[in-house]
Structure 1
């Protein structure tokens, strides 16, 4: 009877994950964008000097890097102009080539909501207009950076909202700019909205379906950074983005995983993530995520609270953080700690 009682309580809490959080009914079911980028069929049918091109879906990013290393500038540019959508999203391709390819791909959409992404000086590392759109933007000099961080955002983020007006220091681009300013010279930050995020606080946000698809894309993206010689990154994972990071953790060659405003990482403990990365967690005193039950039942919920002592993550100070999106506000203890971790100085965080 005691075991049955615990099961019933867990079931009730799991229902609360979707039925007890304000606004859950506003969530709309999303279909994850998966597979190779637009233009993959034409790329697969093409050759370069009689050689097959690396498969954009199956080729390892290091294989892609070796392929481009064997091409001269003219051959690279030929592929860039003929297949910008593939080159711009091809993990392992040279960074500068991807920036130029994505500028061409953005302009080719002819859509006003994306136009600013093609502005001079912007470094768009990935762009896929399918569905709600996906985008990754580099802040700082990724080719020369001694330290690299990747922002993995949560719900309601996509290529169309990347440049939308927001409260300062929020959203993936705002977080990236704030972290870059705090961490300073020698650091690059990538705002990575490279997966289909949930919309609203609904069933998608309470399950791992979208996170599972996102984890595959995140693992490949970080492998692509390694393939072009970038340092092992620090991942900053916000809200539902921490579910993505939790599922991808064992496949990431990251130095640190930092989760904040997290509903759970689909693991019982930091050790259960099966990663060599240091795991950090933060939650502000007024973050509404604290009201989400930390359970997993019948596919709902994301498990243990990463900020709990039992989970075993290193704690990031966040006592002065306001709300669910205030972690990168200048002057906060959380941003100071994030900057130290981004620079490899995590041992100084108290």
Structure 2
């Protein structure tokens, strides 16, 4: 029997292995148009590989069923990802009346069907009842935790626990179209609002039940889905040119007032020291985005006495 050429086989295997991924520092914000059926984390990891970004994070997730704007942060931009969590969100949602599911959306199992008998006037009246401040019970299929466990884990085991209603605000609820058992609405809402729950509650008010069949996020704070790119569009760009689709890290901070420091002030601020600015000149207070010329230094807190203290700084 001929001996197996172990050494040659090992050399061949090493030669055919894919080169090891080299991660690098990338600073910026990617406005991604997330596809349907992909989790937010899967989208983040795929985008991260396209840019070879050593550090990445997102500003809040979208359900796998949902599409639309998912701001992703690379490098220094991850320091400001939390600033978008409090921002208002806007969606276009398709609601199907007459059936409720265990998840509140089309990914779930239908648990109850009822006839749809409401009129156009009934629908308009029902939508009006949900505009403004409302109380909303979070769904069981959510990432909220009870005793350290996500609620969706309990829901998958058939366990339902009591959830405390939360105060949210529906700033806009506009009927875009209605045909038979299905309608499309545009929603602008405060943080923490569950559109699935909103769809269910509208259905209950109309006496027929409902669930969400499509959801597209079109806006997060000042960021619009019209500015977003798809994973396919990124993949089609040569890797060395992909940075051109990134927004600067301060794209996440546009809702904050701006303060520009002098050279001496900027040097002190960048080293973590508070500086004094003219309150009358600044005309602002509270959390601010801080610059040296056109260069972002970070975020600071400005008090009524004009003392600007660093809160989060961008690494040089």
Q: Do the structures match in fold with TM over 0.5? A: no
TM-score (norm 2): 0.25
Structure with more helix by fraction: 1
Q: Which one has the largest radius of gyration? A: 2
Name the structure, 1 or 2, with higher relative contact order (CA <8 Å, separation 6+). 2
Structure with more strand by fraction: 2
TM-score (norm 1): 0.23
